[in-house]
Amino acid sequence: MGVQSRVISTPFVGFLFLVGMALLLVVPNASAQAPPPAKAKAAAKKPVTPPPATAQPSPKRVLKSSPSHHYDNKLRELEEKVVGLKERIYKTKTRLLLLKERILNDVIAEARAVLVHVDEMGPSFKLQRVIYHLDGDKIYYQDTNSGNLDQKDRFEIYSANVLPGNHVLSVEMTYRGDSSVFTYLRDYVFKLRANFTFYATKGKITRVQSVGYKKGDITWDLTKRPSITFRVRQTSYSKDSIGTGRAPKARKP
């Protein structure tokens, strides 16, 4: 009896062991598939937020300016323009005063030379060409081709400030004989040259006339009479001469 009971109990124990192992394998799989109740409840309670809506720009308010406000703006602009014009006028007047003072100082500090060509040859001689040099520099040239010498017995060729002191004036005049009485003069061309030294005084106007004239008298041969002479006259500055920049006209000697 004792031996049989031990044989029977051994298979039963093995059966129980197999059943327990099966249960252990089945229970974890079921627990892994089913979500935990806490997490499921949290997922159910979490609200679904909708996508944010784009903000629409608020319409701008247009402020209508009143007539008085518009008038004030225009008045302010006009006042600014007037102030700007006043400043420009003041600056311009200041520059003019400084320029005038500078010119007057320069004029009075320096000497002024006025050179004038005079033709006293008469109808028997016609001026063809004239050339002037002052201190070696050419300052004037004209001939009959330009037409500036026609019907001109006196004209100014130079007027400017010069350094005080001695100055050399060189003149060349070309005449052609033109006489209806002495017809032989038409074959003659007279080339006259002369140099003249004059002194320009500081603060004065020195007026020099170079004169083409006939020297001698009627008893002289006409072919030997054409010549050049010079006349000098100095004057002080006056308001008229300073304002116009020209020397007063000298009387004919």
pLDDT tens, residue by residue, 29-78: 544 454 555 554 554 455 555 555 555 555 555 555 566 777 778 888 88
Residue with more model confidence, 145 or 142: 142
Q: How many CA atoms lie within 13 A of 38 on its CB side?
A: 0
| pLDDT, the chain, mean | 75
Q: Please state the rounded mean pLDDT for residues 157-182.
A: 90
Buried b (16+ CB within 10 A) or exposed e, 192-228: eeeebebebeeebbbbbbbbbebeeeeeeebeebbbb
Q: How far apart are CA 120 and CA 207, in angstroms?
A: 18
The predicted pLDDT at position 3 comes to: 43
Per-residue pLDDT band for 84 (boundaries 50, 70, 90) equals confident
Q: How far apart are CA 225 and CA 218, in angstroms?
A: 9
- Does the pLDDT at position 243 exceed 70? no
- Does the pLDDT at position 150 exceed 90? no
Q: Please state the rounded mean pLDDT for residues 108-118.
A: 86
The predicted pLDDT at position 32 comes to: 47
For residues 115 and 156, is the Cβ–Cβ distance under 8 A?
yes
For residues 43 and 36, is the Cβ–Cβ distance under 8 A?
no
Which of 8-12, 139-143, 221-225 has the least mean pLDDT?
8-12
**In Å, how far are 47, 104, 235, 248 from 242, measured between CA atoms?**
103, 7, 12, 10
- Does the pLDDT at position 117 exceed 90? yes
Structure confidence by residue, pLDDT tens digits, 185-236: 788 888 999 999 999 999 899 999 999 999 988 888 888 889 999 999 999 8
173 CB-contact burial (10 Å; exposed 0-12 / middle 13-18 / buried 19+):
buried
Other Cβ atoms closer than 10 A to 97: 10
The predicted pLDDT at position 137 comes to: 94
Q: Count the residues in the chain.
A: 253
- Does the pLDDT at position 141 exceed 70? yes
Rounded to two decimals, the pTM is 0.52
234 CB-contact burial (10 Å; exposed 0-12 / middle 13-18 / buried 19+):
middle
Which of 18-27, 104-113, 158-167, 208-217 has the least mean pLDDT?
18-27
Amino acid found at 89: I
Q: Please state the rounded mean pLDDT for residues 97-113.
A: 69
